[in-house]
Amino acid sequence: MKYETCNDHTSREDSVLSFPRFRLVHRPTPLTELGRFAAALARKGMRCPRLLIKRDDCTGLAGGGNKTRKLEFLLGEAMAAGADTLVTTGAIQSNHARQTAAAAAAAGLHAKLILFDTVPYMRPGYRLSGNRLLDRILGAEIEIVPGDSEPEQVFLRVMDDLRGRGRRPFFIPTGGSTATGALGYVAGFSELMDQLTASGIEATRIVHASSSGGTQAGLVAGSVIRSEAPAIHGINVYRVDHQAMVTDIHRLACATAARLGAGQPSPEKIILEDGFVGPRYGIPTDETIDIIELLARTEGILLDPVYSGKAMAGLVSLIQSGRIPADEPVVFLHTGGMPALFAYEQEFNRVAE
Ligand SMILES: Cc1ncc(COP(=O)(O)O)c(C=O)c1O
């Protein structure tokens, strides 16, 4: 019986555990050194800080990734509401949709995925392989809608249709980025800080891919609660309007902190790094492909071309420019996404072996 209204909290910081939660995450996810990767960067002439990686690609649910932490609380909320169907949305290669399909399967629920055809990437694997293939295997009902459809109208239609079929649907917005979903990263922040403390490492920065903002909002809310303060750098892999994205993430961080009865995070805590999304969301950059290969070949760790690869390319660039100093340990939060590699195989077959 994994569904619980948790009462296993051991400290005030873990007040997050009083929320309904369906256990999915294999925790703690590993925290390890990126020694060989950092040495490879140094060989390229870079002054590189001590680099650690928090392996949330290993959260354990059907390919892992950051959404599994959010889904523990979203599923808790859905089950408390008596839902029998999880409905969510994303791009065709959405990692969030795949993890939602898996979470529904693990809880014995039905999943309906509304996938918007928004990314102009026309290679063959994009539509049928990667996450899309896993959605199918996981038994989700999939509907692909044109990228220019009006989202609210589509969601209302789908919810009405499901109710008409006698189902009790629960809607999870893009990326699971609600104040409930973000609780997963309040807990994730706490887990990481415990690991750093136990290892005697004072990391001053956490760097990760930011898109719908729930991961960053949860980390920031968690940092307020813990009163330890590594700076949290979200690498923007999604939107062009910087200020709108910062405002949304701050609003969500405040709503998340409020649910926990904690103080409101100041707007300065939302650090969003721009310049790494490339031509647009979902289209890989050359720097991203290069860094994915470098990490794979030095550490045996796989990133993805849409989120974690762009975030790592961003981190390396911030180190190179001196914005991230060489004398302070940095944690890269690997948010997952590896299944999408199979949707972008042609990017990696540029050079004949
Ligand atoms: C692999 C991966 N990393 C990072 C993110 C961004 O997380 P968030 O939407 O919470 O900003 C996503 C979102 O889909 C993702 O799939």
In this structure, what CATH number is given to the domain that contains residue 137?
3.40.50.1100
Residue 353 lies in a domain: no
Check whether residue 111 and residue 205 sit in a common domain.
Answer: no
Ligand 1 in contact with 129 (CB < 6 A)?
no
Ligand 1 in contact with 85 (CB < 6 A)?
no
DSSP track, 33-101: E-HHHHHHHHHTT-----EEEEEGGGS-STT--THHHHHHHHHHHHHHTT-SEEEEEEETT-HHHHHHH
Catalytic residue from among 15, 94, 149, 210 = 94
Q: Which of 176, 204, 237 is the last residue of a domain?
A: 176
Closest CA to 169 of 95, 108, 111, 89: 111
Check whether residue 192 and residue 309 sit in a common domain.
Answer: yes
Would the CA dihedral through 49, 219, 248, 280 be positive or negative? positive
pLDDT on residue 12? 41
- Residue whose CA is at the smallest distance from ligand 1 atom 9: 212
Residues 289-307 pLDDT 10s: 999 999 999 999 999 999 9
The pair of three-digit structure tokens given for residue 3, joined into one six-digit string: 């569904």
Ligand 1 in contact with 99 (CB < 6 A)?
no
Residue 60 lies in a domain: yes
Ligand 1 in contact with 171 (CB < 6 A)?
no
3-state SS class at 143: strand
User: How high does pLDDT run on average in the chain?
Assistant: 94
Higher pLDDT, 151 or 1: 151
Residues 215-268 pLDDT 10s: 999 999 999 987 667 999 999 999 889 999 999 999 999 999 999 999 999 999
* Ligand 1 atom closest to Cα of residue 234: 11
Under the banding of pLDDT at 50, 70 and 90, the label for residue 5 is: very low
Check whether residue 48 and residue 157 sit in a common domain.
Answer: no
Check whether residue 55 and residue 85 sit in a common domain.
Answer: no
> Residue 8: is its pLDDT beyond 80?
no
Residues 295-344 pLDDT 10s: 999 999 999 999 999 999 999 999 999 999 999 999 999 999 999 999 99
Please give the distance, rounded to the nearest whole angstrom, from the Cα atom of residue 211 to the centre of ligand 1.
Answer: 6
Check whether residue 228 and residue 140 sit in a common domain.
Answer: no
Q: Which of 137, 157, 176 is the last residue of a domain?
A: 176
Cα 22 → chain centroid: 18
Q: What are phi and psi of 52, to 5 degrees?
A: -120, 160
How many residues make up the chain in this entry? Answer: 353
How many whole angstroms separate alpha carbon 47 and alpha carbon 99? 37
Would the CA dihedral through 112, 88, 168, 185 be positive or negative? positive
> Residue 101: is its pLDDT beyond 70?
yes
Q: How confident is the model over 131-157, as a mean pLDDT?
A: 98
> Probe ligand 1: pick from 53, 215, 246, 252, max atoms within 8 Å of CB?
215
Check whether residue 251 and residue 304 sit in a common domain.
Answer: yes
Cis previous bond, 28, omega within 30:
yes
Under the banding of pLDDT at 50, 70 and 90, the label for residue 123 is: confident
Residue 256 lies in a domain: yes
Q: How confident is the model over 28-57, as a mean pLDDT?
A: 97
Check whether residue 210 and residue 104 sit in a common domain.
Answer: no
Check whether residue 100 and residue 210 sit in a common domain.
Answer: no
Under the banding of pLDDT at 50, 70 and 90, the label for residue 17 is: confident
pLDDT on residue 293? 98
Please give the distance, rounded to the nearest whole angstrom, from the Cα atom of residue 195 to the centre of ligand 1.
Answer: 22
Q: Which of 152, 176, 200 is the last residue of a domain?
A: 176
| Total domains, the chain | 2
> Residue 1: is its pLDDT beyond 60?
no
As a whole-number percent, the residues of the chain with pLDDT over 70 amount to 95
3-state SS class at 198: helix
- Does residue 94 carry a catalytic annotation? yes
Ligand 1 in contact with 209 (CB < 6 A)?
yes
- Confidence (pTM): 0.95
Ligand 1 in contact with 125 (CB < 6 A)?
no
Please give the distance, rounded to the nearest whole angstrom, from the Cα atom of residue 64 to the centre of ligand 1.
Answer: 12
* Ligand 1 atom closest to Cα of residue 211: 11
Residue 57: which domain range?
3-65+179-348
Which residues 6+ apart lie within 8 Å of 252 measured at CB? 177, 178, 179, 182, 213, 214, 217
Q: How confident is the model over 15-40, as a mean pLDDT?
A: 95
pLDDT on residue 3? 47
Residue 56 lies in a domain: yes
* Ligand 1 atom closest to Cα of residue 340: 1
Instruction: Kindly tell me the burial class for residue 351, based on how many C-beta atoms sit within 10 Å of its own C-beta (0-12, 13-18, 19 or more).
Output: exposed
pLDDT on residue 14? 63
pLDDT on residue 124? 84
Determine which helix (DSSP H) or strand (DSSP E) holds 219, and give its type and residue range. Answer: helix 214-226
